[in-house]
Structure 1
Amino acid sequence: MMNTAIILAGGVGSRMGADRPKQFLMVQDKPIISYCFDIFQKHNEIDNMVVVVSEQWQGFVEEYAAKYGITKICGYAPAGKTRQHSIYNGLKCIEENAPDTDIVIVHDAARPLVSDEIISDCVKGATEYDGAMPVISVKDTVYQSKDGCSIGCLLKRSELFAGQAPESFKFRKYLDIHNSVSDEEIGLTAGSSEIAYRHGMEIRMVKGSERNLKITTVEDLETFESILKGVN
């Protein structure tokens, strides 16, 4: 069985307010994306990586990969106009460069602390079902409001889960769905798994982790730095 990871590194990180996309910010003398590369490079269930990245930053990634022995990268795909378009570009790159792929694992470059266990659970979930995604329980009370001012209803917390990445899918089924739908539907997709379950794929939830944070804000970056200091 061949498993290929798509590393999404095309985001601009506008909420961070930095001079470069968040995945390329330096933390302890390494770009954030490098922490993802190291994890997937060392994981024995990952055979290949495809990196979705803007043309402006592809050279940076290629230089880093060559310098630090990231040998699993089999191709690069251009960033799309939405996250799901970027995923589709990554899928087409796999079709061209690693067509024997069985399972595709979609991960955000801005999630640099994903564990080996979560990756393995996602691979297993996509092998036994059509796909898998890590989730964590929602701790806070959640209300629904149509106008953003008044409470409409209280949602049942025990039935609510926050999705994380990576998300894994049977490659051919996932690619076929993207090939069959309109460009508009791809663009309106909110999460990697949405388009899959909407078109009949059975997606398994696996255990995520609070530690598997996505770096979106300055506060997230500070949390990541604190965790690294604790590890080291």
Structure 2
Amino acid sequence: MNIAVIFAGGTGTRMNTKSKPKQFLEMHRKPVLIYTLENFENHPMVDSIILVCLESWIEYATFLLKKFGITKVAKIVPGGASGQESIYHGVKTAQELYGGDNVVLIHDGVRPLINEETITHCIASVKENGNGITVSPAIETIFLKNEENNRVGQIFDRSRCEMAKAPQCFKLQEIFDAHEKARSEGLNHFIDSASLMQYYGHELFTVEGPEENIKITTPSDFYIFRAIMDAKENLQILGL
């Protein structure tokens, strides 16, 4: 089986919204989270979805699933105190429901612009290599921050840099075991699943995805998302 764990546990503090978390903000009367879920709902190779959600918003999320016809969500589970813990809750639920001999695709609920082709390539990468980390090329200069006198630190060769995105995909048993080991060792600082798996010695393989696969974290991200969706809609109207 191929199981998507969609993490929608953020509170959206950088979005500066007081009414709704960022994953529930609406664009054209549809929440960002639903756009994200539809990509996995409509993918023929995705068998099941585990949704990790803010506990106080689970009832609303359940309502949205029914309203927009999302049927592959097997369970909604509450998030944890951190992103790492929330993902663990989703991975643990997938393990309990289906067992470890499956593929898990871990994806941000606020990355609605992922496409079918990238999901397909990620699943293929797990079957061939054991994992698949979605990336896109770095398009700006990257350097280390130097805390002394605002000086620029080491500048990296941009042509050799890539931006880690999502989905990040693994054999379910392996990512579950890594989470269990981190918890037993009291390690809760991992920024994403890729860094967790690399820490425990896994060789990671990249899957190049679309540059527009942005994470909607700030108001400007939301405006970019709206512009891309409007452009796609206009092209469809013109038959292009």
TM-score, reference length from structure 1: 0.94
Secondary structure at 2:132 match in 1: strand
| 2:236 match | none
Distance 2:146 2:185 in 1: 25
Matches within 5 A, 1:201-220: 201-220=202-221
> Per-residue deviation at 1:222?
0.7
2:199 corresponds to:
198
Count of residue correspondences: 231
Q: Note the 1:68-83 alignment, pairs <5 A.
A: 68-83=68-83
- Partners in 2 of 1:204 and 1:100 — Cα distance? 20
CA contact (8 A) 2:215 2:221 kept: yes
Residue pairs, 1:7-86, within 5 angstroms: 7-18=6-17, 19-86=19-86
Range 96-105 or range 134-143, more displaced: 96-105
Q: Per-residue displacement from partner, 1:56-90 (whole Å, max 9, x unpaired)? A: 11111111112322111111221111111111000
Instruction: Provide the secondary structure at the position in 2 that maps to 1:39.
Output: helix
**CA deviation vs aligned residue, 1:141-188 (integer Å, no higher than 9, x gap):** 222233161123222222211111110000001111111223665420
Counterpart position of 1:173: 174
Identity of aligned residues (%): 32
TM-score normalised over the length of structure 2 = 0.91
Partner of 1:182: helix, strand, or coil? helix
Q: CA RMSD for the aligned pairs? A: 1.5
Q: Give the conservation status (yes or no) of the 8 Å contact 1:111–1:215.
A: yes
The answer (yes or no) to whether the contact 1:7–1:106 under 8 Å persists in 2 is yes
Ranges in structure 1 where 5+ consecutive residues have no aligned partner: none
| Alignment CA distance shift 1:102-1:115 (3 Å) | same
SS at 1:57's partner residue?
A: helix
Rounded to whole Å, the distance in 2 between the matches of 1:103 and 1:110 is: 21
For structure 1, which segment, 45-54 or 174-183, has the greater mean C-alpha deviation from structure 2 after superposition?
Answer: 174-183
Instruction: Determine whether 1:143 maps to 2:143.
Output: yes
CA distance change for structure 1 residues 143 and 180 in 2, over 3 Å: closer, same or farther?
Answer: closer
